[in-house]
Chains A and B, each alone.
Chain A
Amino acid sequence: MADFVTSLPSLEAIDATPAQKPRRLMTEILYDWVTTVDHKKIGLMYIGSALLFLVAGGIEALIMRIQLAVPHNTFVSPEVFNRMFTMHGTTMVFFMGMPILFGFGNYLIPLMIGARDMAFPRLNAFSFWVSLLGGLLLYYSFIGGSGLYGAGTAPDVGWFAYAPLTAKAFSPGHSTDYWTISILLSGIGSIGTALNIVATIISMRCPGMKLSRMPLLPWLYLVLSNMVFITVSPLTAAQIMLMFDRYLGSHFFDTQAGGSAVLWIHFFWIFGHPEVYILVMPAFAFMNEIIPVFSRKAIFGYPAMVAASVGIGFVSMSVWAHHMFTVGMGAGANVFFVLSSMVVAIPTGIKIFNWLATIWGGKVRFATPMMFSVGFLFQFLIAGLTGVMLAAAPFDWQLHNSYFVVAHFHYVLVGGILFAFFAAFYYWYPKVTGRMMNERLGKWHFWLMVIGFHMTFDFMHIPGILGMPRRVYTYEPRPGWEALNLIVSIGALFQAIAILLFVINLIRSNYKGDIAGNDPWDAWTLEWSVTSPPPVYNFATTPVVYSRRPLWDIKHPEDPDWNYE
């Protein structure tokens, strides 16, 4: 083999003959998926399960918005409302956000660094299934939360589950246990996959791909995976403590026996805040790949982008207590966490400017992925600005746990991260299925999503400033509150329709989409050098790269990138 291992995969090397597979039984196909250790199939299962949980979490959000559309509504009871916001938050963070980011990472990283598979394929499968088990257990709580004797109930302690509400005395039954164990399992899966990603990126890059030539997507996954070790582990430890408290009668968070409720808040947010950066890193990663391709320019400031990512990784570890300004930590701690939180804006700003500079002077193609990317840039910027506002402790004292906070973090999670994921879906779908997604439906999806998003989350800031607290199941008909809440709820409906169009597009394009070919976007990273969908073995010959844009070098042998790097 050694003789062949000297160049990029030439077109002859690619086995382009479509394997005419015999029709197989449904059970055989299912068996294939359940037992697979292939990174592409595991990636797709991650994404598929995440989409199912997105729909579940979305329905929970809609139930909340219907309840809050008008004052004194009785659509759901207060108890059900508590379960809805708990399940919505837990689902979206642990069983939609984490799986979908690992799904894209699983699928793309080996292809982008020229590897055959992930470093530990069986660990990869284990991590996926254990995460999925966690998600299924969480939803099983609807049936089994009170034990088999009574009606079902889901966890209702909120997604950050402050002590001592989670103590056996205040949360009887098993619903909180399902919450704990599902997060514990999700954490094990996350650590397993993060470990796999780091080992893959460090040890399996193709010849010539130094870290300084690696595409930015693997770079960001390297940073976020390292963050997973340091942030998800504390949550795992805290969940073990909570289980000890509930099952063995220990006193970690038992205030009656001298335990501390504040300790749980610290432990949770030591996880909780960096988690937001873990979720946003893939969004940055997708922007780094999509914006250059649709601006027909190489990314502006590659080293600055890498440095900013690593910088965000480090700074994000020391900002958790900005969730705790109202706990009463004292002036010294407050000042520290105000400053460290504001410092995050600097590397993030560097990224925004680099993306703008990439677009600047480029030949921009406004295909659907690029439209979602531009939406991301605007919305993520606003989300960051309200973030800086909330990082100021006195401002936070006023608005803590109000709808302003809810609007802020949904601006990050929906306006930023979800938009970036939609961009990624439209961008890599042709690679995964071999067919393009429908552009017309895509544009409808984009505009409905933009309208719905801004109706919901722009207007949600104002009730917060007017004093509406989060997690109330209904409210008095006060001036301003009624109209604003109704607009917010109507916006949610627009978003639901947009996502429905997206799902239709996903399914329909798989059968009716235009044939994509290997490289429909005229892109530059290695995944576009193989067939769509990629063969199971990924690369017929191990590629060798000499620059950050290996496919540019192939397409433009007269002016290769290595002359400029």
Chain B
Amino acid sequence: MSTIPITPEVADEPWVLPDKGTVGMACLIVAESAIFLIFVVAYIFYMGQSLGGPTPQQVLELPIFTTICLLSSSLTLHWGVAALRKSKVGAFTAWLAATFTLGTIFIVGTGMEWHHLIYVDGLTIRTNLFGTTFYSLVGLHATHVIVGLAMLLVALVAALTGHVKQEHAHRMDVLSLYWHFVDAVWIVVFTVVYVLGR
């Protein structure tokens, strides 16, 4: 029994499995997608069902500028990770800073929009079904942007203090996967809330 049995003649193919960080993030994205899906379904289900105003037509404006900022931040992060893969740490840091700035502009824009809605238009989460679904869906997305910004900030601080090297590129891949997901969700939210819902 102690002898190892003859093994079948197999070509010694290298045993490579997918990166666990990528798989884990993919799983998280599936789960998060399901959460967003429920909020989007609730939004669509309650479209035009509010018993009183204000309505989306009266108060919502297309957030074109912040949308462009958020979507382009995906590109800058992509270029950043590509630079890191080629060991260009300086370029990576610059692209990362750009990504963080663009994301921050988006979240500040959302904050200003909410401030206007609450104090000028008098729309809160209690006002009507539109307020309920709008703040929870956009707020859920904004929460994800803030979490992403926090992680980008950690990476940025690490990069600025010289702790990021080429071998960390696959970790940045995992982070950028999350960031692309947040951007993709915004396309859905934008379409549902600002295009179909108006």
Which chain A residues have a beta carbon within 8 Å of chain B's beta carbons? 6-8, 10-12, 119-120, 191, 194-196, 198-200, 202-205, 207-208, 225-226, 228-234, 236-238, 240-241, 244, 248-252, 257-260, 263, 267, 270, 544, 546, 553-555, 557, 560, 562
Contact = CB atoms under 8 A, between A and B. Distances in A.
Contacts of A241: 39, 42, 136
Contacts of A226: 27, 30
Given A191-B28, A194-B31, 11 more contacts: A196-B24, A200-B20, A203-B20, A205-B17, A226-B30, A233-B35, A257-B128, A258-B49, A258-B128, A553-B5, A557-B3
B59 to A, nearest CB: 17
A230 B30 contact: yes
B132 interface: yes
B125 interface: yes
A237 B128 contact: no
B7 interface: yes
Contacts of A557: 3, 5-6
Nearest to A256: B51
A198 B3 CA distance: 34
Given A229-B31, A250-B126, A554-B1, A204 B17 contact: yes
B24 A233 contact: no
B23 to A, nearest CB: 4
A195 B45 contact: no
Given A7-B4, A195-B24, A560-B8, A203 B19 contact: yes
A11 B51 CA distance: 74
B191 interface: no
Contact of B20 (A191, A199, A240): A199
Contacts of B50: 258
Interface of B: 1-8, 10, 15, 17-20, 23-24, 27-28, 30-35, 37-39, 42, 45-46, 49-51, 125-126, 128-129, 131-133, 135-136, 140
B60 to A, nearest CB: 18
Nearest to A119: B20
A156 to B, nearest CB: 26
Nearest to A235: B38
A251 B129 contact: yes
A234 B35 contact: yes
Given A250-B126, A257-B51, A259-B129, A244 B20 contact: no
A202 B18 contact: yes
29 contacts: A6-B7, A7-B7, A10-B2, A10-B3, A120-B24, A194-B27, A194-B31, A195-B24, A199-B20, A200-B20, A203-B19, A228-B31, A233-B33, A233-B38, A234-B34, A236-B35, A237-B39, A240-B136, A240-B140, A244-B125, A248-B126, A250-B126, A250-B135, A251-B126, A267-B38, A554-B4, A554-B5, A557-B5, A560-B8
Nearest to B132: A250
B51 A203 contact: no
